[in-house]
Amino acid sequence: MTAAGIARLAGVGRAAVSNWRRRHADFPKPVGGTETSPAFALRDVEQWLRDQGKIAEVPARERVWQQLVGHPAGAAAALRQAGAVLLLVQERPAAWRQLRAAADDAELTGVLPAMLESVLTGRLGPEHPVRGLTRAALAPSAALVRAAGDLATADGAAAAYDFLLGRHLDANPRQYTLTPPGPAALMAELAASAGPFGTVLDPACGAGGLLAAARTADAAPLALHGQESDPDLAALTALRLALEAPGADVRVRAADTLRADAFPQLAADAVLVHPPFNERNWGHDELAYDPRWEYGLPARNESELAWVQHALARLRPGGTAVLLMPPAAASRRSGRRIRADLLRRGALRAVIALPAGAAPPNNIPLHLWVLRKPGGSPAVPHLLVVDTAASAGRDKFDWQTVRATAVDAWRDFDRDGGIEEVPGVCRSLAAIDLLGDDVDLAPARHLPPPAAAGGPAELARVHDRLTATLARTAELAPHPGTDTAAQPPAGRWPLTTVGELARSGALVLRAGGPGTAGPGGGAPAVLTDHDVIGGLAPSGTLPETPTGASPEEPVLVQEGDVVVPVLGGGATARVVDEATAGAALGRNLTLLRPDTAALDPWFLAGFLRGTANNRQASSYASTATRLDVRRLQLPRLPLVEQRRYSRRFADLAAFESALRLASRLGEQLVQGLHDGLTDGSVDPD
């Protein structure tokens, strides 16, 4: 097991494990791995933790997980075996209890394969992908089989498998592209808005996130069909769905969907897909005459449009498909003929732009395409375009607002065939208006800017705020003074460093960083280095706690703390006010908590911002300047004298804040006037 595994086992952070290795000579020695990522023997680590009183007993979940990781056939094969046993426990608990109580290892692995095959065939069909569960394969896994069965008895089979599969996916982030729960739930909700569906298909099902989300939509489907090209992942997904949906008909197949469709006769009520993006080798040449290309043969670089047409081909008339698409698919010239035909025939009903970061790849704002298979009444070709970016902030976004914006707009449009235009958010367009040279369907290109929505009245309010702020700025502008004789040269002050003050107890130093959100929400916002440098409110969010791990407590800032960026911040220090107190301290920040009986916060922050002070405490060992906060200096002055400086530093901070606000209001007014003049809502006179 790695240091990360030890941290999970003991319920601590990885830094604590590193400290144990340094401080305790009897800490177990590595038995494998590399110098940067050593591996340790589970038994030795368990014993050491018990001896130190850091753990009473290894949790059953951790014990099963460590057996999976160390399995000679690999974690995926071991997880397949454990999942099949969990399914047996769920489907035939009495048979498992009898087998578990009576059988030794040889008898267990001799009888078990036939029992597992019977259960798998009954739940997943005769062509199920969970293969290789022979006596020879199970013999080295007898301990794992027993531990997995015991875990299912204690926690429930579905919960046990959810933990093990989640840990496996978290441990291999580069191997799997997952659809986050938020977008998956949104896609299922959009598909379910037309009414209950009996059958759902995901032809690129991956780990089964979309099919699992369909189970929690308004009406749980009776049949779940999935296809995945990776045989191991297809097997794991089949087990997940069988365990999570005991009443549903589950069919998962392992094959390349476009080249070897496993469900050619299926007419699903809904299709949910997060297809692979930008695939060149999707079968363009060999599938040139495939009957699925009803709207045109996709170009070699338009694999996403092949998935769109595959989804439509597997729908019943009137069925709904929702696909997560790259934004380029809405505007690439190579796909314009297919997009045009999808519009003309009323198959493409909506394009919804999500904020960047909603799903991987996180650096681009992905789109959702909502399609309806034509059938019955003549099509009324209109397209709904929605841009949810207005619901997103610069560093985080409110997912519930994004979801509500998309779902409300789609339901109104689907019910009434049109929708009231909301500038910058949503609009219904006639297909004929989109059939230009490029057939560009990107929502942002068809929505008036939101700044124009308020018109001149909103711009007048911004103007009034800017005028008042500029007047306030003039009042706050400090005068530098001329009586230099009253000021002693800096060199005459006795100096101390932040490091010396920390050692003497005059202040406490804390580094920002580790911290995760616990279950149930309510996590504090994160104060980022960007917020400190820009004088903004906390805008970050804590990362989710890895599956099965204990949440790590973040460092929370208090009123009167001084926060300093250590990377690229220049001469910056911020005194935490009442509004910011309670936020979590982000990465690349250092917190200084002064003892106010000896050290004034504004005095501390003001002297830390000195340019010469920062220069002598900075490292230029790399292209990014890093500040050694402990080397920053300030003079040794009595508290009364500190407060003389403190008042001036606080005045400068107020002046700086007013300047920033004036800058933001000025930019808003300038852009608003440009938009108003160019869209006609503001008269030039």
Q: Is the pLDDT of residue 621 over 50?
A: no
Each residue of 138-197: pLDDT tens digit?
Answer: 888 888 888 888 888 888 999 999 999 998 998 888 888 889 999 999 999 999 887 777
Residue found by looking up tokens 């006609």 in the block: 680
What is the overall mean pLDDT for the chain? 87
Query: pTM of this prediction?
Result: 0.72
> Could you count the other beta carbons within 10 Å of the beta carbon of residue 653?
20
Inform me whether the pLDDT recorded for 531 exceeds 80: yes
Residue 323 pLDDT exceeds 50: yes
Looking up tokens 């250590």, which residue turns up?
Answer: 566
Q: Which amino acid is at 569?
A: G
Tokens representing residue 531 in the block:
């917020």
> What per-residue confidence (pLDDT) applies to 625?
65
3-state class (DSSP) for residue 581: coil
Among candidates 339, 215, 228, 217, which has minimal Cα distance to 273?
228
Q: Is the distance from CB of 151 to CB of 160 less than 8 angstroms?
A: yes
Span 443-456, average pLDDT: 73
What the block records as the tokens of 99 is: 């087998």
E-assigned strands of 537-602? 562-565, 574-575, 584-585, 589-594
Reduce the secondary structure of 413-468 to three states and give it as a string.
Answer: HHHHCCCCCECCCEEEEEHHHHCCCCCCCCHHHHCCCHHHHCHHHHHHHHHHHHHH
pLDDT in tens, 386-420: 999 866 554 456 888 899 999 999 999 998 888 88
Which range, of 159-163, 567-571, 582-586, averages the lowest pLDDT? 567-571
d(CA 218, CA 214): 8
Q: Name 496's bridge partners.
A: 634
Q: What pLDDT shows up at residue 321?
A: 96
pLDDT at 454: 60
